[in-house]
Structure 1
Amino acid sequence: MVKRKLSFDDAKSSPKKRTKHGSQARLDAFFTTSPGKIRATPLETPVETNHGEKIPSLSPLVIDVDAEDVETQFEERLVPPLAVPQTVRVQKKEVNIPGHSVKFQPLQFAPLDVDPINYSPDGQPWLEKGAPYAFLTHAFSTLSSTRSRIIIINTLTNCLRTIISKHPESLLPSLYLLSNTLAPPYAPIELGLGPAIISRAIQNVSGITPATLKKLYNTLGDPGDVAVAAKTNLRTLVPHPQLTISYVYDSLMMIAHSKGQGAARQKEKLIEKLLLSANGEETRYMTRTLCQNLRVGAVRTSMLTALARAIALSYESPGLLEGEDTLHNKAGLSDCPRNELNEIFLKAESIVKGVFVKHPNYGNIVTALLDTGLYGLEEKVPLTIGIPLHPTLGSPMRSLDEVYDRLANQPFVAEFKYDGQRAQVHAITKDGRLSEFKIFSRHLEDMTSKYPDIQLLVNSLLERSPSISSFVMDAEIVAVNPRTGAIKTFQELSNRAKKDVQVRDIQVSVCLYAFDLMYLNGESLLQKTFRERRSLLQNSFSPYTPEEIGFARFTHVESMNSEVGQASVEVFWRRSIESQCEGLMIKLLDNIVVDPEGDKSNSHMRKKPLPATYEPDKRTAAWLKLKKDYVSGVGDSLDLVPVGAWYGNGRKVKWWSPILMAVYDQSSGQFVAVCKCMSGFTDSFYQDTRDRYNPGDGPDVICSPRPLWECDFGGFTPDVYFRPQEVWEIRGADITLSPVSVAAKGLGSLTRGLSLRFPRFLRVREDKTIEQASTPEFLASIWKKQQGSKEGHVEDELVDVDFASSPGVSEDDLSELVA
C-alpha cells in the first residue's frame, strides 16, 4: 500500500528552476484531461512555491497505486532487488521500521563543477548494486544551473570519470541519458510516449486530479517541476529501492520496445514504477527525460570533450604527447603543468571526436575505451559499412568573386547543387549479390525503407561492376520525370511516403546523383584528395538508366572544372538556377595552402593548409556553397512582422528561436503567420529580442503565453505570442505551398497557404510601420512568378515548412538554419 499526503512543503526548499521550456503545444497537451480512476480531495489554502507564486495545497490523501504490476516476463530484468533498509519518510524525517536497524538516507554528493585536477572520484558515495541515478541527477542539477562552457565540461568530465572509476558498466547508459537519447541516431529506437500516458502516470502516482495537474503546470510551467510538486509529501510504508543508472536506462528501453495491444498500459506502469522510486531531483529529471525535454546543455561536442578527458584521466595511453612514451596515470596527471595537461586533453579530444564522426556509436567506442583507453582507438573503431559517418558540410559564399578569392585561384570543380535529399549509400556484396544495404540521411537517420528502388538500382550497378565488393557513396536523391529524366522540384520528392515503401506503389521516380566516394573495397578514402576520390567514383560507377520506366536512375552530378575560366563558370551557375537546382557546390581538387583572411600583406606568416580530404562533420572551406538565396539580387525580399516564437534549443536555449513571421492582410486587418525564421541572427540581436519580448502581464504586455492580438496562426503553435510592432526584412530561397501556413490561401492554391522556404533575417525595417508589411497578395505574386511556364496551373505539392516536425525539408538547409 502506498500512501500519499499531498502538499507543497518541499517546493520551497528546491532550487529555482527555469519555466516554460520546449514545445508549448506538447507541454499544453501533456496536461490535458485524461481518463483514469483518480481519487483526490478538493483544493484548500494556497501555499507559496519556490518560484514565489501561489499554488493550491491539497488535503492528505491515501491511495493504492500498486494494485497492478508489470507482467512477470519483465519482473526479473526490470525490478532491482530490495537492497536498502525499509523505512517510512514522514515530513522529511527517516523513521525505522521494527526489525530493521539501518535508516534509508539520501546520498550526499560532492560538487562536480570543480577543476578535474582537483577532483577525486573516491569522495563520492555509491551503491553496492551499481551507479546511483541520484548521482546523474546531481550532475543534471549542476548543468542546468550554469551557462558556462567551462563548468559544463568540468561537470561532465568529473561525472563520467567517477562512473568509470566506480562502475564502468554504467558508462554507456550514462552517456545516453546525459544526451537525452537511447541509441545512435540511425537506430529507430524512440520512447513513443504521448502526453496522455505521462499525464496519467503522474496522476496515478500523486493522486491528484487532471484539473489540479493543469493548475500546477500553469503555475510552474515545466513538467519536471510539476511532477516534483505533485508528489512532494509522498509517504511509503515500504520504500522503493534507490534507482540505479542501469535500471533507469533499461526501463526506458523497455518502454521503447513495448509494442502491440496493451503497450500503452504497459508503458504507463513502467513510468509509474520509475516515478514512485524517484525522489526529489530524480523525479524532476526523470519526468523531463520522459518528455524528451531534458535541457541541461550537454550537447554532443561537450559530451565527447568530457568523455575524452575522463578517459585521459583514468587510463594510461601511449603516445598522446610528442616525445612522451606514455600518458601519466590519473595520479601523475595531478602533477602535470597546466599547459601540458591542456595539450593532453586536446589530443585526447581530437582522437575521440575524430573516431565518433566516422563511427557515431557510443556502444562500440565505450567498449574500446574501457578496454585499452585511447590507445589504438582509431583502429579498433574504424569507418564501418552500415554505420553512417557524419557528412562533410559546405561553407556558404555570396558570389563567385568571393569563391575565387577564398581558393586563391587554385583548381576546383563546380557541381550542380540539386534540390533533393542528401543520401549516404552503404553496400556490401557477397557472391556477386548485394548482401548489406543502407541509405542514411543528412542527419544519419536510416531511410532505407523509403527508397527500395535505390536498392534495386545499387544491385544492378554492382552486377555491372563485379570488381566492387563494398562502398560508401555520398549522393543526392532527386525527383525526376520517369520518361525523360528531367529534374523535378523538391516538393515532388517530398510527396513520397517516408518509410516502408513498396516498389509497386512508387509514384515519384528518382535519380541518384553521386558526387563523392568515402569507402571502396574495404579501404577508407577519407584521407585522399577530392581529385582522387572523384576519379575513383567516376571510374568505378558508370551512369545507368534501367529499361523499366519509373525505376531509379544513376548518374554523376553535372560539373565543370575551373580551368575553363570564371566567365564560363558564371554561365554554369546561371544554368544551374534555370535547371531548378539550388546553385553550385565549389570543391577544391587538391590540398593547398591559403591565407584564411584573404590579406595579402604578411601572408607568409598567416598561410594555413586547406586540405581537399573528406572532413566528416566539418563545414570546410574546401567545399563552398553558392546558392541562389545566398546571392544578392536573386529573389525578392519580404517585409514580415514577428508575431510569436519558440524557446531555443542547445546554445540558443536562453533566446527565442525560431521566430514566427507574418504578412499583413489589409482586407481583414489581421496578421497571418507565414514561416519560422531562425537564420541570419547574431547573438546580440537574439539577446536584444529576448529582452524586448519578455513575457509579462498587464496592459503594456508585448509577449504572452496566450494569443492576445489579432493574428491568424494557421497550423503554427508557438510557445509565446508577440504583439505585432516591428517589421523585419526577410529573404528566402523561394515560396512554397504549405499545409501549415494559411497565408494567401485561395490566391495561389484553393487548399493550401503559402510559406517562405529557408527564410533568413536581413535587417529591421525601422522605416516601415506594421501596416506597410508585405501582403498575402504580394506573397502570391512572387509564387506565381516562380511557376514560370506553369503560371495559372496550381499544383498542391506537399511541403511542410514546420521545421520542428517536417522530415521532408532539405536537410542540408535545415542544418544551415540551426547553425
Structure 2
Amino acid sequence: MLEKSGSTRSRLAKVAMMSEYLRGLGEEELGIAARFLSGEIYPRGSGMDAGVGYRMLLDVAAQVTGASEEELLRTYRAHGDLGDALQEILGSGRIAQPPLVPAEPLSLKGVYDEFVRLAGIAGEGSYQRKIVRLRGLLTSCSPLEAKYVVKLLLGELRTGAVEGVVEQAIAEAFGAKPEDVKRARLMTGDLGEVAILARRGALGSVGISPLRPLDFMLAEALASPEEAVERYPGKALIAEYKYDGVRAQVHAVGEEVRIFSRRLEDVTWSFPEVVEGVRGLNAVLDGEVVAFRDGAPLPFHELQRRLRRKNPQELSDEVPVVYFAYDVLYMDGRSLVDLPLSDRKRLLSELLPEKRGAISTSPWWTIRSAEEIAELFRRSRDEGYEGLMLKDPDSAYELGKRGWKWMKLKEELDTLDAVVVGAEYGHGKRAGLLSDLIFAVWDGDLLKVVGKAYSGLTDREIEWVTKRLRELEIRDEGLRIYVRPEIVVEVAFDLVQESDRHDGGYALRFPRIKALRSDKGPEDADTMDKLRWLAKMAKRRGTLHQ
C-alpha cells in the first residue's frame, strides 16, 4: 500500500486506494496500518521510541548485505534515502546473512510487534541488542519491505500520505464525516485509534484524555498594533506577554503528571519543579516554561542549557524556571476547549488563585486601541519579554490550528524559524567544525534555501551541531555537506530583500543564529510567505516591524 501511495501524485487516487485497503483490514491491523500510512509507528503519548538512528541502520545494512560502508554511502547519496539504497542493494541479490530457517511472510502486526520490542530495549548493551533485533527483522524482509521498514524507523516515509490524506481515507472507508475524523485525531493524536472508532461508528464519543498530548493552538504574526485593531475594530482584546521560552502542555491527574512540548514529545523529566507544582490538580494546562530569576525572564539560551542536560536538576539553582499558564483545556473531568477564552481565563484563575511553586498564571489585560497595544508592547520589552500576544476573548481553543484569533506582536527586528539543510566547514579555530549553517524555509512542500549564518553559536554548541550534522549527512561535497532537515534554528537578521543568491529568491542581511530550537521540528519552520511579507514591510517602512 505504501508503494502504491507513493507512486501517484493524485490526492484523490491516494485516498481511494487507502480507503479500500483500510476497509478490508481487521480491527487490530487497521489501527497499525492507519499509523504506518501517516508515517507514525506508535500511538501518541505512549512514550515508546524505537531509538534507532541513521548510524545504527547503516551498521545493520552492512551486516545484512555484506556491502562496505563506502558502497552503502555511495548508494545512499545517489538516492538521498537509506531505505531506497537498501532496496537497491538487496534487490541485486546481496544478502550476507540469510535467515537460518525460511522467514514467515511479514504481517502488519508482526512488524509492529518488532518495533515495540525495539522500543523496550534499553540500558547497557542496548545498541548491540537492537542491532541483533534489526538484523533479524531486515533479513526477513523483501527488498521492498526493507525499504519501508527503514523509512518508518527514520521517520522518512515521503509517500504523500500526510495526516490529512489518511484522515480523508478513514472517512471514506467507514462513512464518517471528515470533520469528525479530524476532530478525533486532534483529540487523540492517534490515527490508529481514530480508524478503529470510525469503523465502530463511535467518533462522537471522543474527548480529551488527560496524559495524552493535544495539538496546540497557534497564532499569526502581526505587522503592527494598528493591524490588530483593524482586524477587530471596536472590540476589546485580551493581551498577554509573549514569552521566549518553551511552549508546554501540562497534564495533571492527581499525583501523575506529564509535560509535552510543542512537538508533542514527553519532556516531563526536563522540568521537575513544574511537575511538583501541579501535583494534586486534575487539569490540562497550556503555557510556557521560561527561565526566570529575580522576577525577570532570562534569555532562551539559558533555558536551552537545561534542555540538553540528562539531569536538569544540576542546573535548577543556576537556571530556575517558571511555568506561566495562560489557558486551561480540561478541568475536573470536563473538556473546556469549546468555551470562549474569557471563560477559560476565569476557570484558570479559580484553578490557580495563587502561585504554586514554579507554577504561575500569566498576567493579562483587556485593551482596545493601537495606542494601548503599543504602550503594553514597550512595557513587555522593557521587562525582558519578547513582545505581546493578542487574543479574541470569544475564541474557542482550536486544536492544531493557526489563525487570527490568536495574534503575536514581536520585537521590531524579526526572527525566522528555519531548517538546517547543509553546512560548511569553518576556518581558523573552527577548522574541522561545521560552523557555517545553510538554512531554509518552506515553500509549499519544498524547502528553499534563504541564507547561511556562521555567528551566534557558542563553541560548545558548534561542537554539538557538528556531531549532529555528521549523523544527518546525505551528501558530502568536500568543504560543504548537505543533511536531512531535522535541526531547527531561530535566525535573527537586520533586513530581508529579494535576491538570486539562494533558490528561495530572498536573502537576509547580517543573519545570525539566535538559538537552536530543539523544542521545534522541521514542520514548525516558517514559510516563504512570511519572507515575502517581511520584504514588503521593509520596502514600505525602510525597516522591519512585527
TM-score range, shorter chain: 0.7 to 0.9
Give structure 2 stretches of 5+ with no counterpart: 451-461, 480-486, 530-546
Answering whether residue 292 of structure 2 is matched by residue 558 of structure 1, we say no
Closer/same/farther in 2, CA of residues 613 and 485 from structure 1, 3 Å limit: same
Task: Tell me the CA shift for residue 205 of structure 1.
Answer: 3.0
Closer/same/farther in 2, CA of residues 580 and 275 from structure 1, 3 Å limit: same
Amino acid in structure 2 at the alignment position of 1:412: L
Amino acid in structure 1 at the alignment position of 2:263: H
Task: Tell me the CA shift for residue 522 of structure 1.
Answer: 1.4
Partner Cα distance (2:59, 2:181) in 1: 42
Amino acid in structure 2 at the alignment position of 1:427: A
Corresponding residue for residue 278 of structure 1: 141
Corresponding residue for residue 573 of structure 1: 377
Amino acid in structure 2 at the alignment position of 1:516: D
Amino acid in structure 2 at the alignment position of 1:158: E
Corresponding residue for residue 539 of structure 1: 350
| Secondary structure, aligned partner of 1:259 | coil
Corresponding residue for residue 384 of structure 1: 209
Q: Which moved more, 1:177-186 or 1:498-507?
A: 498-507
Amino acid in structure 2 at the alignment position of 1:475: G
Answering whether residue 243 of structure 2 is matched by residue 418 of structure 1, we say yes
2:152 aligned residue (279, 284, 289): 289
Task: Tell me the CA shift for residue 168 of structure 1.
Answer: 2.8
Please identify which structure carries the higher helix content.
2
1:582 aligned residue (386, 401, 404): 386
Answering whether residue 16 of structure 2 is matched by residue 157 of structure 1, we say no
Corresponding residue for residue 171 of structure 2: 308
Amino acid in structure 2 at the alignment position of 1:144: G
Superposition pairs for residues 411-450 of structure 1, below 5 Å?
411-429=236-254, 435-450=255-270
Partner Cα distance (1:161, 1:485) in 2: 57
Corresponding residue for residue 413 of structure 2: 635
Partner Cα distance (2:523, 2:79) in 1: 36
The answer as to whether partners of 1:447 and 1:499 remain within 8 angstroms in 2 is no
1:624 aligned residue (407, 426, 429): 407
Amino acid in structure 2 at the alignment position of 1:378: G
Corresponding residue for residue 763 of structure 1: 497
The answer as to whether partners of 1:426 and 1:439 remain within 8 angstroms in 2 is yes
2:46 aligned residue (163, 187, 190): 187
Corresponding residue for residue 266 of structure 1: 129
CA distances 1:427-450 after superposition (whole Å, capped 9, x unpaired):
223xxxxx2222211122111111
The answer as to whether partners of 1:517 and 1:537 remain within 8 angstroms in 2 is yes
TM-score, normalization by structure 1? 0.54
The answer as to whether partners of 2:324 and 2:361 remain within 8 angstroms in 1 is yes
Task: Tell me the CA shift for residue 175 of structure 1.
Answer: 2.1
- Which has the greater radius of gyration? 1
Superposition pairs for residues 507-522 of structure 1, below 5 Å?
507=317, 508-522=319-333
Amino acid in structure 1 at the alignment position of 2:43: P
Corresponding residue for residue 251 of structure 1: 114
The answer as to whether partners of 1:664 and 1:774 remain within 8 angstroms in 2 is no
Answering whether residue 334 of structure 2 is matched by residue 523 of structure 1, we say yes
Partner Cα distance (1:223, 1:168) in 2: 31
Corresponding residue for residue 42 of structure 1: none
1:222 aligned residue (78, 81, 95): 81
Task: Tell me the CA shift for residue 154 of structure 1.
Answer: 2.4
Partner Cα distance (1:479, 1:309) in 2: 47
Task: Tell me the CA shift for residue 613 of structure 1.
Answer: 1.0
The answer as to whether partners of 2:423 and 2:436 remain within 8 angstroms in 1 is yes
| Secondary structure, aligned partner of 1:622 | strand
Closer/same/farther in 2, CA of residues 394 and 187 from structure 1, 3 Å limit: same
Corresponding residue for residue 326 of structure 1: none
Task: Tell me the CA shift for residue 404 of structure 1.
Answer: 1.1
Superposition pairs for residues 359-508 of structure 1, below 5 Å?
359-362=188-191, 364-370=193-199, 372-373=200-201, 375=202, 377-379=203-205, 381-429=206-254, 435-459=255-279, 470-481=282-293, 484-498=294-308, 501=311, 506-507=316-317, 508=319
The answer as to whether partners of 2:22 and 2:170 remain within 8 angstroms in 1 is yes
The answer as to whether partners of 1:388 and 1:440 remain within 8 angstroms in 2 is yes
| Secondary structure, aligned partner of 2:216 | coil
Task: Tell me the CA shift for residue 221 of structure 1.
Answer: 4.6
Superposition pairs for residues 299-378 of structure 1, below 5 Å?
299-312=162-175, 348-362=177-191, 364-370=193-199, 372-373=200-201, 375=202, 377-378=203-204
Partner Cα distance (2:77, 2:330) in 1: 54
Task: Tell me the CA shift for residue 403 of structure 1.
Answer: 1.0
Task: Tell me the CA shift for residue 524 of structure 1.
Answer: 1.3
Partner Cα distance (2:384, 2:190) in 1: 37
Partner Cα distance (2:174, 2:314) in 1: 51
| Secondary structure, aligned partner of 1:298 | coil
The answer as to whether partners of 2:118 and 2:133 remain within 8 angstroms in 1 is yes
Closer/same/farther in 2, CA of residues 203 and 567 from structure 1, 3 Å limit: closer
Closer/same/farther in 2, CA of residues 537 and 571 from structure 1, 3 Å limit: same
Q: Which has the higher contact order (CA 8 A, sep 6+)?
A: 2
Closer/same/farther in 2, CA of residues 147 and 722 from structure 1, 3 Å limit: farther
Partner Cα distance (1:587, 1:412) in 2: 6
Q: Which moved more, 1:350-359 or 1:501-510?
A: 501-510
The answer as to whether partners of 2:87 and 2:147 remain within 8 angstroms in 1 is yes
Amino acid in structure 1 at the alignment position of 2:38: S
Task: Tell me the CA shift for residue 162 of structure 1.
Answer: 2.5
Task: Tell me the CA shift for residue 424 of structure 1.
Answer: 1.3
Task: Tell me the CA shift for residue 587 of structure 1.
Answer: 0.6
Closer/same/farther in 2, CA of residues 555 and 148 from structure 1, 3 Å limit: same
The answer as to whether partners of 2:329 and 2:336 remain within 8 angstroms in 1 is yes
CA distances 1:509-544 after superposition (whole Å, capped 9, x unpaired):
112212111112211111111111111212331232
Task: Tell me the CA shift for residue 218 of structure 1.
Answer: 5.0
Closer/same/farther in 2, CA of residues 541 and 172 from structure 1, 3 Å limit: same
Task: Tell me the CA shift for residue 267 of structure 1.
Answer: 2.4
| Secondary structure, aligned partner of 2:247 | strand
Q: Which moved more, 1:181-190 or 1:518-527?
A: 181-190
| Secondary structure, aligned partner of 1:147 | coil
The answer as to whether partners of 1:480 and 1:510 remain within 8 angstroms in 2 is yes
Task: Tell me the CA shift for residue 191 of structure 1.
Answer: 1.8
Partner Cα distance (1:637, 1:620) in 2: 19
| Secondary structure, aligned partner of 2:360 | strand
Partner Cα distance (1:352, 1:572) in 2: 41
Q: How much identity, in percent, do the aligned residues show?
A: 26
| Secondary structure, aligned partner of 2:197 | helix
| Secondary structure, aligned partner of 1:272 | helix
Partner Cα distance (1:560, 1:663) in 2: 49
The answer as to whether partners of 1:191 and 1:256 remain within 8 angstroms in 2 is yes
2:9 aligned residue (132, 147, 153): 147
CA distances 1:338-380 after superposition (whole Å, capped 9, x unpaired):
xxxxxxx6xx11111112212213454344334x22x4x232x
Partner Cα distance (1:168, 1:779) in 2: 52
| Secondary structure, aligned partner of 1:678 | strand
Closer/same/farther in 2, CA of residues 216 and 450 from structure 1, 3 Å limit: closer
The answer as to whether partners of 1:586 and 1:623 remain within 8 angstroms in 2 is yes
Task: Tell me the CA shift for residue 176 of structure 1.
Answer: 2.6
Partner Cα distance (1:280, 1:813) in 2: 30
| Secondary structure, aligned partner of 1:494 | helix
| Secondary structure, aligned partner of 2:208 | coil
The answer as to whether partners of 2:76 and 2:474 remain within 8 angstroms in 1 is no
Superposition pairs for residues 113-152 of structure 1, below 5 Å?
139-152=1-14
Answering whether residue 37 of structure 2 is matched by residue 175 of structure 1, we say no
| Secondary structure, aligned partner of 2:323 | strand
Task: Tell me the CA shift for residue 623 of structure 1.
Answer: 0.8
Partner Cα distance (2:478, 2:18) in 1: 40
| Secondary structure, aligned partner of 2:305 | coil
Partner Cα distance (1:584, 1:198) in 2: 45
Partner Cα distance (2:21, 2:106) in 1: 17
The answer as to whether partners of 1:471 and 1:520 remain within 8 angstroms in 2 is yes
